[in-house]
């Protein structure tokens, strides 16, 4: 049912970049159901840059809350600021008790979220939290919050889309001394989750050599966080033509560079979801996780997943100590996808 009466709602955003992007269809659906609504968000400093590129979000409250810490005083201070804004409703996307506390302290009358972590009394529109084994995808999981608990969810949801600025991409490229007259391929070799989501560095290096041989006038750069720098450095030491920019760019700068990419070769990571939302061609590599659950939400994505008997295990480290789900994903398979994209877009 559509409503034109609600004016301002708050989103407590997820704490991971990929999750924040998979939540964007929820924001779009809320705007469809309530055409006059204004959406603001509470977000961590590392997630805020992607929310700032979402046209559905007006304002962002930045938080520096430490992961896994209660920090009641900081949450109370934030809640006092939110109380002044007099939001009529709020959607809490993280499933933690701590996230629910902010809404309770802020006095927002309608508090919507999934039950869990003993926060039943903190919410008053409660969606039963399904087991992960019964979820169809994270996008549908988040989008369900726009509807009454138990309601049927449309499958044709809007895809995540981030705003881009080509002139910004050129400026950032020059800042990092990248040649803007030739094409760019981006590697995203890291994954915050753990090694069971990372394609081996020697495979990335072999792929780079194949690219250099077949497309000698294409630049290859590696993007990621400071934690990914060592992984990318191993690739760059093997293939010196690769520029390792992991840990050197802000998230905004990474978005600007990805906007220029002819192809992004990426593990299942936050930057994979960024590339999808920027509508860049992607070759996405899956190991311990499941592309049916957290896919790159783009029609331009090609997914490589071996789906071995032991996967998806969703483990950070391989419990069988062989990492075959990624080691056996051949360089030739990935190169064939990359090659077909480059040839099709010539």
**What is the per-residue pLDDT for 71?**
64
Task: Confirm whether 21 is domain-assigned.
Answer: yes
Which tokens hold the place of 46? 């590392």
Instruction: Please check whether residues 280 and 323 belong to one and the same domain.
Output: yes
Q: Helix, strand or coil for residue 9?
A: strand
Whole-number Å distance between alpha carbons of 187 and 56: 29
255: tokens are: 């978005």
Query: Average pLDDT, stretch 65-73?
Result: 60
Tell whether 170 and 137 lie within a shared domain.
no
Between 84 and 335, residue with greater pLDDT = 335
List CB contacts of 144: < 8 A, sequence separation 6 or more.
Answer: 127, 151, 153
Q: In what helix (H) or strand (E) does residue 264 lie, and over which residues does it extend?
A: strand 261-267
174-197 pLDDT tens trace: 999 999 999 999 999 998 888 889
Q: What's the first-to-final CA gap in the chain, in angstroms?
A: 46
Give the residue numbers spanning the domain of 283: 166-344
Average pLDDT over residues 304-311: 95
Q: 87 in a domain, yes or no?
A: yes
What's the CATH number where 132 sits? 3.40.50.2000
Q: Report whether pLDDT(4) > 60.
A: no
Question: What was the pLDDT predicted at 1?
Answer: 39
Residue 75 has pLDDT above 60, yes or no: yes
Least confident of 98-107, 218-227, 272-281: 98-107
Identify the domain boundary among 88, 116, 146: 146
Question: Does some domain include residue 233?
Answer: yes
What confidence tens digit (pLDDT) does each residue in 204-226 have?
999 999 999 999 999 999 999 99
pLDDT above 50 for 296? yes
156, part of any domain: no
Q: Mean pLDDT, to the nearest integer, of 40-54?
A: 96
Mapped onto helix, strand or coil, the DSSP state of residue 318 is: coil
Peptide bond into 80 cis (omega under 30): no
pLDDT tens column, 235-269: 999 999 999 999 999 999 999 999 999 999 999 99
208 & 94 share domain: no
Within this chain, do residues 182 and 319 fall inside the same structural domain, yes or no?
yes
- Is position 295 within any domain? yes
Q: 101: pLDDT confidence band, cut at 50, 70 and 90?
A: confident
- C-alpha angle 233/17/309, rounded to 5°? 75
Rounded mean pLDDT of the chain?
92
14-23, 80-89, 254-263: segment of lowest average pLDDT: 80-89
Predicted pLDDT of residue 172: 98
In a domain, 155, yes or no: no
* Cβ-proximal residues to 256 (8 Å cutoff; 6+ apart), any chain: 165, 168, 169, 171, 172, 173
The tokens 């020697």 sit on which residue?
202
Strands 243-244 and 261-267: unpaired
Average pLDDT over residues 296-300: 95
Residue 1 maps to a domain: no
pLDDT of residue 66: 55
- pLDDT tens sequence across 102-140: 777 888 999 999 987 667 788 989 999 886 666 679 999
Q: What percent of the chain has pLDDT over 90?
A: 79
pLDDT at position 43: 95
- The verdict on 214 and 107 lying in the same domain is no
- Rounded distance between C-alpha atoms, residue 290 and residue 97, angstroms: 27
What is the domain count for the chain?
2
């Amino acid at each position: 049912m559509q409503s034109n009466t609600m004016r301002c709602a708050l989103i407590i955003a997820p704490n991971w970049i990929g999750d924040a992007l998979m939540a964007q269809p929820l924001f779009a659906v809320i705007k469809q159901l309530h055409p006059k609504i204004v959406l603001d968000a509470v977000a961590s400093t590392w997630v805020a840059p992607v929310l700032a590129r979402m046209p559905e979000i007006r304002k962002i409250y930045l938080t520096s809350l430490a992961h896994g810490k209660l920090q009641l005083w900081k949450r109370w201070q934030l809640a006092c600021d939110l109380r002044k804004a007099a939001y009529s409703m709020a959607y809490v996307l993280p499933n933690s008790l701590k996230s629910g506390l902010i809404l309770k302290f802020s006095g927002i009358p309608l508090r919507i979220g999934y039950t869990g972590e003993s926060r039943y009394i903190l919410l008053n529109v409660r969606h039963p939290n399904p087991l992960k084994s019964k979820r169809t995808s994270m996008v549908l999981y988040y989008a369900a919050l726009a509807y009454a608990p138990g309601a049927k969810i449309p499958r044709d949801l809007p895809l995540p889309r981030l705003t881009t600025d080509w002139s910004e991409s050129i400026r950032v490229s020059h800042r990092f001394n990248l040649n803007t007259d030739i094409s760019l391929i981006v590697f995203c070799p890291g994954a915050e989750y753990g090694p069971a989501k990372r394609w081996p560095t020697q495979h990335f290096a072999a792929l780079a050599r194949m690219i250099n041989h077949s497309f000698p006038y294409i630049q290859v750069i590696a993007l990621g966080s400071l934690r990914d720098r060592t992984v990318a450095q191993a690739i760059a030491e093997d293939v010196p033509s690769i520029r390792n920019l992991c840990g050197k760019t802000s998230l905004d700068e990474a978005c600007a560079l990805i906007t220029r990419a002819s192809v992004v070769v990426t593990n299942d990571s936050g930057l994979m979801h960024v590339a999808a939302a920027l509508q860049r061609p992607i070759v996405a590599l899956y190991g311990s996780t499941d592309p049916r659950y957290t896919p790159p939400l783009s029609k331009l994505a090609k997914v490589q997943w071996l789906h071995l008997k032991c996967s998806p295990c969703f483990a950070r480290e391989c419990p069988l100590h062989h990492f075959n789900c990624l080691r056996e994903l051949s360089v030739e398979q990935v190169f064939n996808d990359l090659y077909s994209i480059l040839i099709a877009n010539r």
